Structure formats: C-alpha cells, structure tokens
Amino acid sequence: MLSLANTLAARAARLIQTAYQEPALWTISTHGRVVGSLMCEAESWRISWFDGADPRLVSYGGCVDGDPDALAIVLSERLGAPVRLESLPV
C-alpha cells in the first residue's frame, strides 16, 4: 500500500511540475540501461534516443502529451519489456 501511495505522489509531483512550465527531464531506460531522454520545456515535449536504442522504441511516433507514466506504459507495450522513465533535476 505504501508503494502505491509513493507512486501516486511521485506522479502528481511530476504533473504539477510540468503544469507550471518548469523544464523537466526524464531518462528512458530498459533492460537496465538508459536508452533515451524525455524533455519538456515551455510545454514542448521531445524524445531523444541514444545510439543503440531498440528500433521499436526509436520508431515511436505517437503522442507525448505530458504524462510520462502513460508514455512508459505505451513504450513498454511497444517493446514487449518494461520501460522506465525517471525524472531528473534540471
């Protein structure tokens, strides 16, 4: 139960941060390695993939709408393996 509360609190904090238009940065990782980044600045979202990222992820052309957790779910389904987005201080 505490894990669920922590998850919800972290998600709310990320959504509040992006609502105030502060720059935000997330790493995108799978299989224990960072394969890309997600950046939000002035309501503009951008995914950057690093060399060696799985082509199934690199070819993602869907919406990035301000919900990193939802994006992680979509990318996980696309890859067929867990994809994590972790926020970093900017």
Instruction: Give yes or no for residue 87 having a pLDDT over 70.
Output: yes
Which residue ranges make up each domain of the chain?
2-88
- 0.85 surpassed by pTM: no
**pLDDT tens profile 21-74:** 567 899 999 999 999 999 988 888 999 999 999 999 999 988 888 789 999 999
Task: Kindly list the distances between the CA atom of residue 53 and the CA atoms of 46, 47, 62, in Å, as whole numbers in the listed order.
Answer: 16, 12, 17
- Interatomic CA distance for residues 56 and 61, integer angstroms: 10
Non-local CB neighbours of 83 within 8 Å, separated by 6+ positions: 28, 29, 30, 57, 72, 75, 76
